[in-house]
Copies of this chain bind each other. A is one copy, B any other.
């Protein structure tokens, strides 16, 4: 009788990395390990020098990612109680677009003495939003020239993506730009560290790197942005592309030492946290919208036809599932808005009352909020504390709370913020539906699926049946599924998903009276959304400009 085989999926999130050991034959989750990045997200100062960072910056330190391999993977193996010799493959998923400037051997520039003090030499995390001016120029020029790739991204390129970040790097730190061999997605850098070879994954290349139908934006377009940017694709970006689920390399001796896994096992092509989660939730048929909800929310859906959907992040042929068009949309801030509120806006009495609550302050506020009838708080909020990724694609937007009175209490604001994120999701759903991409089911993956109030609010606001992924570790399980395919245990990702993924049987069904009540509040949200988001009043952009000037 042969021993069971296992794979390891590693999910690189915004604040920590999580490793999951999964049994190949049925997806059973055997053990897990988590390691929080020691440098977390650098938003105010550069750790190496203490230098103050400008507003809207968000950096990370790449050695933190290696620490995850050294700590979380062995912890997961130990937790699983398995023999590491039975592990046949490893795969990773990462936040995106998170970018690292590297030398030709993969060394991040920030690890060189010459660039240790240079903020631009560090990892720019997905939520680094300081490249908005560059994104604005890219969008204006692409619209003016009628670039054929633009509609694939809903008509707008995000400041979070490769070209905006690359142009900012060139213009603000040309010495770093010149010194880097390639500008690499962290999703691919970590695979390079594991498997010894740089393979650019099809997913980020398509969604974040404007790679469509085998082509990137032309040198002529890039030169029109900035003459020195003409060679960005050829000199800094272009590289052979690996398909999702393919083998990128074999575990190196060094990576084997880091992780305690056998040298030479399969290392899968890199992937993105959101996209990898759809197979984990077995949500790969047209009509199923998967929301990976955590710090932010990423939405993916796989219709069988191409449509132009305004404000989407992107569409890539086979970007998630072979044979279908993989659409991505997103909300830049969700869980981190709730965390910001809990950390900064809740008085001591609530902290004290929540001390004995099993769900902590979030759980306590949720319980209080659940007692309120819809609309009783008198509030409506805009969920733009981190800007708006879809459908407005504008990170100069900011959050708003309206309806405050002297009777307003923290649980009311908390509920209004949860509702605002649901309204933001509905805006995305309506953009899909009105563009001909049907949505008939909403599936939540990620930490927020534990919040019953949030789930019912989403079901009611969206007026869609809502299920949740069975796994508490959707992205890590999704990565493990890709590891199994890369190791040759399954023929392809859908086959592996059928055996290894899963969704809970329970469904949150919309309650008609709640749906009607939320329709009224959603109309208010939509009016404010369009007033502040579509140019009638650009106050948010002007306030960000004033803020930057004041802090300069």
Interface residues of A (CB under 8 A from B): 43, 55, 333, 336-337, 340, 343-348, 351, 372-380, 385-386, 398-410, 517, 520-521, 524, 527-528, 531-532, 537, 539-540, 542-544, 546-547, 549-551
Contact = CB atoms under 8 A, between A and B. Distances in A.
Given A375-B549, A547-B378, A539 B385 contact: no
Given A377-B547, A550-B374, A398 B409 contact: no
A539 B520 contact: no
A452 to B, nearest CB: 20
B403 A401 contact: no
Contact of A385 (B343, B406, B517, B528): B406
Contacts of A340: 406, 408
B344 A409 contact: yes
A424 to B, nearest CB: 14
22 contacts: A333-B406, A343-B347, A344-B347, A346-B347, A375-B550, A376-B550, A378-B543, A378-B546, A385-B408, A386-B406, A398-B405, A399-B403, A399-B408, A400-B400, A400-B401, A400-B402, A402-B539, A403-B539, A403-B540, A403-B547, A517-B550, A524-B542
B520 A546 contact: yes
Contacts of A374: 550
A154 to B, nearest CB: 23
A376 B271 CA distance: 38
A335 to B, nearest CB: 11
Nearest to A379: B543
Contact of A551 (B376, B406, B547): B376
A527 B537 contact: yes
Contacts of A336: 406
A380 B546 CA distance: 11
Contacts of A409: 344
